[in-house]
């Protein structure tokens, strides 16, 4: 069985009058609950960014984003975290899982995770997309919340990477060589970067610029070859097109969270791609969520994969 690149994600926003999340010292224990650990860490004045053995953790003063892949048990980490927080201070909470290539290899299912989370929270569970196509699951806290007008994220989940990066990711190239080939300083200037190349394969990168972040995760093992890019940068349409030109995927999924005041204006359309799946929902916690799955119209039939 190949490594599972599809990610689970947890995000929590607490009251700005609450104690800073950056002051807590229990994160090694929290990550142990998720069955992951810190590989590298750096900070700026706004955020602490951690590269993990399975993806990334970002901690701002009153917001936390934890992304994990592989066989992690993210819901256990969520329950551990909320035991250390004042429940009344939690303003918004999101837990999501992308469809997995190897679901039987996972320690939990989304349904199990939701049962556990509902022991602590009143929340709603949703599926975006059809079960027989690319889709993702979302659990969110069922309470009103008014996000900042610029509070948005875009997740770009890519498959069938083409070009020079394809062979580089599949090699055992060092992090410096991969970063040089990506040339991210040109595409997204002003960010401080930290990365890590895993052995024999795999690559992760975190980037910070003020309160903005982006993160890249590469799982090049077949048949689950997968690259993800996530950010809260402005101009998401421009970011999306830059990422596609860089990685040259033949298939990709796009997940966006936008506040009501913004979401209606974002149109996820890509030249040269067919939108196979589209699903959108306005949540009562202040966000419009969109899920789109695309395939390149020039895609060729693939050969059967043998293992």
Q: State residue 97 phi and psi, 5-degree precision.
A: -140, 130
Long-range interactions of 176-180: CB distance < 8 A, separation 24+: 178/203, 179/205
pLDDT averaged over every residue in the chain? 91
Nearest CA-CA partner of 16 in 140, 148, 143, 120? 148
Q: Hey, CA dihedral for 88, 27, 73, 209, is it positive or negative?
A: positive
Q: Residue 58: its pLDDT value, please?
A: 98
Average pLDDT over residues 184-189: 96
Contact 139, 124 (CB under 8 A): yes
Average pLDDT over residues 166-185: 93
Q: Residue 263: its pLDDT value, please?
A: 56
Q: Where is average pLDDT lowest: 78-82, 134-138, 258-262?
A: 258-262
Q: Residue 223: its pLDDT value, please?
A: 76
Q: Residue 209: its pLDDT value, please?
A: 98
Q: Where is average pLDDT lowest: 106-115, 180-189, 206-215, 294-303?
A: 294-303
Average pLDDT over residues 89-107: 90
* Length of the chain measured in residues: 307
User: What are 153's strand-pairing partners?
Assistant: 257
The yes-or-no verdict on residue 252 having pLDDT over 60 is yes
Q: 130-164 burial, b for 16+ CB within 10 Å, e for fewer?
A: eeeebbbbbbbbeeebebeeebbbbbbbbbbbeee
The yes-or-no verdict on residue 225 having pLDDT over 90 is no
Average pLDDT over residues 288-302: 81
Q: What is the pLDDT of residues 107-131, one digit of tens each?
A: 899 999 999 999 999 999 999 998 8
| Confidence grade of residue 140 (pLDDT, cut at 50, 70, 90) | very high
The yes-or-no verdict on residue 305 having pLDDT over 60 is no
User: What are 277's strand-pairing partners?
Assistant: 293
């Amino acid at each position: 069985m190949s490594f599972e690149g599809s990610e689970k994600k947890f995000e929590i926003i607490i009251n700005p009058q609450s104690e800073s999340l950056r002051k807590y010292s229990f994160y090694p224990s929290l990550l142990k609950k998720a069955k992951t650990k810190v590989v590298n860490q750096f900070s700026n004045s706004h955020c602490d960014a951690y590269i993990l053995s399975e993806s990334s953790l970002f901690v701002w003063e009153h917001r936390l984003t934890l992304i994990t892949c592989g066989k992690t048990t993210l819901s256990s980490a969520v329950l551990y975290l909320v035991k250390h927080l004042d429940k009344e201070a939690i303003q918004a909470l999101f837990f999501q899982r992308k469809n997995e290539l190897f679901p039987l290899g996972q320690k939990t299912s989304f349904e199990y995770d939701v049962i556990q989370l509902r022991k602590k929270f009143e929340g709603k569970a949703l599926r975006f997309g059809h079960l027989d196509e690319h889709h993702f699951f979302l659990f969110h806290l069922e309470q009103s919340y008014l996000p900042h007008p610029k509070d948005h994220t875009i997740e770009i989940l890519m498959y069938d990477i083409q070009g020079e990066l394809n062979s580089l990711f599949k090699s055992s190239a060092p992090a410096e060589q991969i970063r040089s080939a990506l040339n991210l300083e040109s595409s997204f200037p002003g960010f401080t970067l930290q990365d890590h190349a895993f052995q024999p394969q795999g690559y992760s990168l975190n980037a910070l610029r003020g309160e903005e972040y982006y993160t890249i995760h590469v799982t090049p093992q077949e048949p689950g070859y997968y690259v993800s890019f996530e950010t809260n940068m402005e101009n998401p349409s421009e970011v999306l097109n830059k990422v596609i030109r860089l990685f040259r995927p033949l298939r990709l999924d796009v997940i966006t969270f936008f506040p009501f005041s913004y979401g209606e204006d974002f149109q996820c359309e890509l030249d040269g791609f067919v939108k196979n799946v589209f699903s959108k929902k306005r949540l009562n916690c202040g966000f419009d969520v969109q899920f789109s799955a695309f395939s390149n119209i020039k895609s060729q039939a693939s050969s059967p994969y043998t293992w």
